[in-house]
Structure 1
């Protein structure tokens, strides 16, 4: 049960965001409002208000950023994407709530028929969706993609991309302090600060020690964050002037060691491969690899649906290296099989919320399957419509960027776009195994989409599309113009 500090932090975050926008550049304020909320606000704690989605560590920062940009700054906010495909996917993602809710109005009952007496006894029930739920789900879907739409406008410049990488690196350096304390003494930060533990304690024990979790939903989320931070540090080290170059390299090495200490095999594997690539490989290679990751992430669920993925062979290969990981992977595949069978009963629009997409015991309603990958959660809840909209919108920026690079082999690319694209690509890959979609994932996707839009020859010729991102006045910044009204 969250304590008073947890709810106080949620209430205070809009004020924190406002201070950021009044003291920092718009790029930095957007990045830290979203990333800071993700890292610091309490998981699971939320305000449940009637007819609107729960206000939690995701929706409060998103809503705060949107409200401040629209009502508290001089910027003209242009959230609507320029490309027709992106526009259609945004509309589908938000409006997919309507058919999903309207096709799930019946309750799911769990009943027992006694042999001695032909009477049905109602044991439990999952409620059906009502028309009033449509508005709540619509708002929730719209708030989810606020970071995507805001980043498309404000973080697509070279300065915006650099701020994303700097925030990842700085956030991980700071987050490593409580994380190392948890690695040494066991994961207790959320208990000490917010009064409760947010997950199964057993899942924090690994390799004779602990893996940290701090204020995130699970240790896997923190490990992926550490991986992306090490990638960001490598990208920044690559362009750091010679005088400070070795300092940047040492920070990268520290974050790689921090990643290893997080004890997550998949994230460690990602980091060991991608950090050197980001430091040494040409930018064009990084973009094309990120595009490949996006293609795999989009097509895997489709191939999984038709049984084209050799799951048994994959598990057998992993078992040759690590039997424990093979057992875990096999369990995930078994769960996916059962959840796919369940989703096949309502493939177009899914089962909606309240855990209706899960496989349960027919008599007592006990949950028999646990969904791990984000794709199976979306597919079970919103069907093909929701899956295509969400994964399509996340993968589209990488596909467009990869297409541009292939068509323009000598194009000059930002020194930061390859790393940002690869961070998004590896997150999409990880979402096949884990539900690691975060507001910062949407932020990176929006920044990449905005960058691709800026590469358009038509847009480059139109001065109206130039983004004015003058830093706001702060201490020691005489002569700079203020963007805040």
Structure 2
């Protein structure tokens, strides 16, 4: 159970958010509110009242930041330049439709799950209209970072700023990570009085898998993996600008070492899969790769149902690496197949919440299934309607940018964010690592698709688009051809 300090920190976080909005421009204040809150707040503390969604570490930062934006706190300090970074960012019509579907489909889920689930003497009650408000409220809070980021992180400059926030946050977070690698994951217990998961799952390869203040070590590992890609994207961005970029390459190497120490094979493999693209390809190539991954993730349940995904080959590959990893993967696959069969009984709107989508032992009533991947959780709870709505919103920004990237003049920073989002999407197939950071990046990408720079005068509007990044070779050539750092171009690059 969380101690008193956990609740004091959680419900005192709005004071921190207020201070950030007083000191920083709105976009930076929002970004740091979300990132710091996700990294530092306790996981199991929260306010759970009947009929309303739980207010916890995922909700407090975004609700606090939304309130600051609504009240205009710190607006006078934002400045004209920062306001120009954030445009109106109207949402795409398909994004609007998916958002409506996401918030409306739980009503159908509730209406079709009024019957109880009876397993022997074990009974899970049916859902009531009363429950729809809590479910819709929780979904609305989860997508609020997506909606706010569309406005605050819509411009090319804001994408560079967001990458810097993500990389710097994990560089600082590497210190407690290193502590837990050496001393075992104890910080959450030492500070907040509880351990968020099973300790045995965090003993790996004769050492420990760090957790710090997140839900699980796997959640931490994928975030570190995304920070590696963020640092490399900043390196490519600085090369394209003709500025010095070595510090970001060193940061990426350091974060890669931290990722290896996190002892998560899946996150390491994801980074290794994306490294050649972010190192060698231009913006267009990176976006195409991200779109292929996003499309595959969106279609994954259908590919699994039709046996297109070569599960047996993946098991054989895992067995060649580690017998324990292969056994873990086989167990996960067996659970997913059983849960898919149960989800197929109510395919449109799912089984709802309270453990209704799970498989239970007929004698004890205890759940015999393990839900790992976010995709199977979504389909089991809210059916295909809920899955298409949530994963459609997550994948749509990447697909739109890959389609319209040529006319938008996208930068390496935006391509890097797209690859980070694709990495997180890929991890959602095996883990439920759908976090506020995921929605934040997705909103920033969709906002960039709709962003129209504010310019004063026709001359500014007719200015040529930014130079495209065709690949690492052209970026290196550009860094040699640009003026020296003492010149105007160097000063502008350093100011980003």
TM-score, L = length of structure 1: 0.88
Match of 2:361 in 1: 361
Residue 260 (structure 1) shift:
0.8
Residues 439-478 of structure 1: per-residue CA shift (max 9 Å, x gap)? 0100100110111112699xx99x99xxxxxxxxxxxxxx
Residue 62 (structure 1) shift:
1.8
Residues 66-97 of structure 1: per-residue CA shift (max 9 Å, x gap)? 11111234599999843211100000111111
Q: Does 1:425 align with 2:425?
A: no
Name which of 443, 447, 450 aligns with 1:446: 443
Kept in 1, the 8 Å contact 2:6–2:192? The answer is yes
Match of 1:264 in 2: 264
**Distance in 1 between residues matched to 2:215 and 2:331, nearest whole Å:** 21
**Distance in 1 between residues matched to 2:110 and 2:36, nearest whole Å:** 33
Match of 2:144 in 1: 146
Kept in 2, the 8 Å contact 1:80–1:149? The answer is no
Match of 1:100 in 2: 109
**Distance in 2 between residues matched to 1:321 and 1:62, nearest whole Å:** 41
**Distance in 2 between residues matched to 1:142 and 1:448, nearest whole Å:** 19
Describe the SS at the equivalent of 2:95.
Answer: helix
**Distance in 1 between residues matched to 2:312 and 2:188, nearest whole Å:** 38
After superposition, the Cα gap between the structure-2 partners of 1:81 and 1:88, relative to the gap in structure 1 and judged at 3 Å, is farther
Residue 27 (structure 1) shift:
1.3
Residue 157 (structure 1) shift:
0.9
Residue 438 (structure 1) shift:
0.5
Residues 399-420 of structure 1: per-residue CA shift (max 9 Å, x gap)? 1111113xx3x76322300100
Describe the SS at the equivalent of 1:145.
Answer: helix
After TM superposition, the structure 1 = structure 2 runs for residues 27-426 of structure 1, keeping only pairs within 5 Å, are 27-73=27-73, 74=75, 81-111=90-120, 122=121, 124-240=122-238, 244-405=244-405, 408=406, 412-426=409-423
Residue 42 (structure 1) shift:
0.4
Match of 2:15 in 1: 15
After superposition, the Cα gap between the structure-2 partners of 1:180 and 1:52, relative to the gap in structure 1 and judged at 3 Å, is same
Kept in 2, the 8 Å contact 1:110–1:365? The answer is yes
Farther off after superposition, 86-95 or 236-245: 236-245
Kept in 2, the 8 Å contact 1:20–1:29? The answer is yes
Match of 2:478 in 1: none
**Distance in 1 between residues matched to 2:437 and 2:230, nearest whole Å:** 13
Match of 1:116 in 2: none
Describe the SS at the equivalent of 2:32.
Answer: helix
Please identify which structure carries the higher helix content.
2
Describe the SS at the equivalent of 1:57.
Answer: coil
After superposition, the Cα gap between the structure-2 partners of 1:103 and 1:243, relative to the gap in structure 1 and judged at 3 Å, is closer
After superposition, the Cα gap between the structure-2 partners of 1:456 and 1:390, relative to the gap in structure 1 and judged at 3 Å, is farther
Q: How many residues align?
A: 447
**Distance in 1 between residues matched to 2:313 and 2:160, nearest whole Å:** 41
Residue 313 (structure 1) shift:
2.8
Farther off after superposition, 421-430 or 94-103: 94-103
Describe the SS at the equivalent of 2:245.
Answer: helix
**Distance in 2 between residues matched to 1:397 and 1:39, nearest whole Å:** 25
**Distance in 2 between residues matched to 1:307 and 1:362, nearest whole Å:** 29
Kept in 2, the 8 Å contact 1:79–1:150? The answer is no
TM-score, L = length of structure 2: 0.86
Residue 213 (structure 1) shift:
0.4
Farther off after superposition, 181-190 or 81-90: 81-90
Residue 281 (structure 1) shift:
2.2
Residue 149 (structure 1) shift:
0.5
Unaligned runs of 5+ in 2: 462-496
Residues 19-55 of structure 1: per-residue CA shift (max 9 Å, x gap)? 1111111111111111111111101211112321011
After superposition, the Cα gap between the structure-2 partners of 1:336 and 1:83, relative to the gap in structure 1 and judged at 3 Å, is same
**Distance in 2 between residues matched to 1:80 and 1:88, nearest whole Å:** 16
Describe the SS at the equivalent of 1:55.
Answer: coil
**Distance in 1 between residues matched to 2:310 and 2:16, nearest whole Å:** 49
Match of 1:469 in 2: none
Farther off after superposition, 72-81 or 102-111: 72-81
**Distance in 1 between residues matched to 2:401 and 2:295, nearest whole Å:** 12
**Distance in 1 between residues matched to 2:93 and 2:400, nearest whole Å:** 12
Kept in 1, the 8 Å contact 2:202–2:208? The answer is yes
Kept in 2, the 8 Å contact 1:103–1:349? The answer is yes
Residues 360-403 of structure 1: per-residue CA shift (max 9 Å, x gap)? 11232111110110000000000000000000010000111111
Kept in 1, the 8 Å contact 2:360–2:369? The answer is yes
**Distance in 1 between residues matched to 2:352 and 2:89, nearest whole Å:** 27
